Chain A
Amino acid sequence: MSDLVHDPLNILITGVGGQGNVLASQVLGRALLAAGYVVTVGETYGLSQRGGAVMSMVRVSRDRTMGPLIPENQATAIVSLEPLEALRVLPQYGQPEVVVITNDRPLLPINVISGQSSYPDLADLKAALGQVAGRLLWVPATQAALALGSPILANVVMLGALAASGILPIGLKEIEAGLAQMFPPAKMAPNREALSRGWKMVRS
């Protein structure tokens, strides 16, 4: 077991219902448990398929059982499958050192579609995230997923980016083993490719 950059390591995964948030947190949880850590994965869903914001919390310790909620302003990293959702959680969970890794593809809320609210300009949003994140990784994950044939792979691309960020005590191989617990062998090839693209987007 490697040391953790912080114990407990608090990884918040956020996004919109239907983006594969819960699956990403489960893959991470399984991989970390296999590596010998004490893992708690808290999932928020229920209305998750109904276009609302969805959060999962992955908490990792070498020796302590953690509650399912990350305490206020104690996220080590925020992985966001949608850029506005990253900003939304920062007041409650962010702290000056937090690493924010976000997909750059907006999913418009219906209140934006209807014209009642507006979605910020992406450059402004990126700048705002940069102001309150200790480190910001802006990842074109949906674009990479579309190139692989399916936008739903964006969550796995983001896991690759998270692995590349240096936050995790495990690497791509362990995450891939976590994925293999969730998917039949026939579906592993695009998942492996998505992981590796996510990694490369951060490391190159």
Chain B
Amino acid sequence: MADLTKLAPGAAVLLQGNEAIARGALEAGISLAAAYPGNPSSEILESLADSADSAGIHVEWSANEKVALESAAAASFTGLRAMASMKQNGVNVAQDFICNLNISGVRGGLVLVTCDDPSGISSTNEQDARFISRLASLPLLEPATPEECLAMMRFAFELSEAIGNLVVLRSVSRLSHTRAGVVPGELPAGRALPYWDPKTRWFTVPVVPRHQVMLDKLARARSIMAASGFNRYQGPDRPDLLVIASASSALYAAEARRMLDVEGRVGILKLGCTWPLDEDMILSRLEKASHVLFAEEIDPFLETEIKALYAQNAPRLGVMNFFGKGSGHLPLIGEMTPGKLAGAMAGILGLSWLPVAKDYRLQATQLAQGMAAPRDLAFCPGCPHRASYWTIKQTLAVDGRQGIVSGDIGCYTLGLHPTGFERVNSVHCMGSGLGVASGLGQLKKLGFKQPVVCVVGDSTFFHAALPGLINARWNRSDYVLVVLDNSATAMTGFQPHPGTGVTATGQPGVAVDVESFCRAIGLPAQVVDPYDLGAAQEALYDALQQPDGLRVLIFRRVCALVQGRRGGHPWRMSVDEKLCRGEDCGCHRYCTRVFRCPGLVFDEARGRAAIDEVVCVGCGVCAQICPAGAIKAQAKEDAA
């Protein structure tokens, strides 16, 4: 990322949606930004961190999203503008606070940015976080382009201060990770000093009257948002089909309309302010149409609310036809595309439309299906998790009691897949691996005979694992916790976390290490290098054989990609073809069939394992699994 304060006002520059969100916040004069990393939201805080020094603001990675929003709210209570950014799952983590903050209200402009992930491109779910605006009665903005990201962030802070409540801005992966020309505005010259008058209080009781205050704020937001210009109609005055769209779907709708050549028949009402609804504007368009198609991602949010608005006004509006996710014209799952909208529009308008000649699509599909093997997700070459899961798989096999592995969120979630030997049995949300393990660890007295291993990453450990760990300790749950400590929030781009002792801006913080925490609750934690398969397997086997209680192992080895940036791994790998047993090894190509490292391949022509030197990083682990001793690790300096 780059220092966004250096952008020249007025000169177009290619900015990612997330960078435009960050620049908008800087232009709005934020003083504090906090977040927990998670794709597709991470670059917002990363670019603010790189701008923090120049802007003179505080930017931090917080231990989790709830703490991030609470920290931002604190700044707001002192009169400063602040923000918290997160992915859709993070909104769930912060939800309890949000559903009280909405009643207490805020002082300095406070904005929550959620980046949702239609199609779950980098997520474990496909959740529409717009629900939080409906649930908590908070204004909601949905930008469609990086340019709008910037403009709406500036507006969001003004709106938040005008009504005295939190404002939600919702992006999606395709917008957060889209780059387009953006013209930056001016940065503010100065800012107020933070001050909290001791006579003022921020709280939620008495609940009922303050609930009314909250609703009054939302009503005020409705009129301010209606005047914002972010809701626009483009098309004929009385269209044959009215498309009501938000965010990228509005661009896709415009493109679909052009592809079908129906610009004279289809109107698009693009809503940028999506909660509360601009009822007057929407009703004025419904009056002039009889067929309406909704285009949005992920849930039918606008569709449901606008149908309800219609129901309220049906006697005046008469019979109308609504299309979208409810009617089956658009799928309820997966991200929107121009083609899906073109198909829906064509169907409603009675046109026939295909994106390309049928024969072409058929031929390309047949060729691809015949040849293009799927590309399974894989741990990177040299990834310590591959070695860790190898140890878990082998050790549980030797243990022989059909052990269960409770998993968690991070790169190591891929333990569900072949790259982790499918050795993870359950994954849900941040920290839930420890809660599930805690419960499993209580079932022995009910006749559950299988040993339980729980894996958790170092960043997740600090984010949400601690209550589960404490619960297990308190209630004497019986399982082995393996902390897969790669010293980074690797999945989301190597952000620092409490264990690294470095802050978001690269300043020294105070390192909070996993083993000290465990020791403090009376749990000795053994640290093992997962690259040393023998030692790791022995440690895990011993832990499994201990009679009961919670045992902790820390498999500590830095992320292979981080190691790559620090000068790489020490070994040059090679295969001694005379020793390699080839096809016959371990009932057929043992190393490549079972270990599955992208850097270790099978040379079909020679009938022997081989190292792909473009891919292999030289971690040396595969040399330990070869039963014939054919895979050799030679120090790179000696080999050079």
Which positions in A face B, CB cutoff 8 Å? 16, 18, 26, 29-30, 33, 38-47, 49-53, 65-69, 71-74, 84-85, 87-88, 90-91, 94-96, 105, 107-120, 124-125, 128, 131-132, 142, 146, 151
Contact = CB atoms under 8 A, between A and B. Distances in A.
Contact of B614 (A43, A51, A142): A142
Contact of A72 (B145, B338, B414, B592): B338
Contact of B180 (A39, A50, A142): A39
A71 B121 contact: no
B351 interface: no
Contact of A43 (B177, B593, B602): B177
Nearest to B181: A33
B337 A45 contact: no
B180 A40 contact: yes
Given A42-B177, A114-B592, A50 B374 contact: no
A40 B601 contact: no
Contact of B411 (A50, A53, A67, A114): A50
Given A84-B371, A131-B363, A45 B592 contact: no
B interface bracket (residues with beta carbon within 8 Å of A) = 35 or more
**B39, B357, B371, B419 interface centre (most CB from chain A within 10 Å):** B371
B251 interface: yes
A155 to B, nearest CB: 13
Interface string B586-621: 001100111011101110000000001011000000
B361 interface: yes
Contact of B181 (A38, A111, A116): A38
B357 A51 contact: no
14 contacts: A38-B180, A39-B181, A41-B180, A47-B122, A51-B419, A67-B251, A68-B251, A72-B338, A110-B378, A111-B418, A113-B600, A113-B601, A114-B418, A114-B596
- Prevailing SS type, chain B contact patch: mixed
A129 to B, nearest CB: 8
Given A94-B360, A96-B360, A113-B600, A49 B593 contact: no
A52 B377 contact: yes
B212 to A, nearest CB: 41
A96 B614 contact: no
**4 tightest CB-CB pairs across the interface, nearest first?**
A46-B122, A67-B251, A117-B373, A51-B378
Contact of A30 (B14, B145, B177): B14
A71 B255 contact: yes
Contacts of A114: 418, 592-594, 596
Contact of A115 (B337, B371, B372, B589): B589
A108 B598 contact: yes
B208 interface: no
A69 B338 contact: yes
Contacts of B593: 114-115
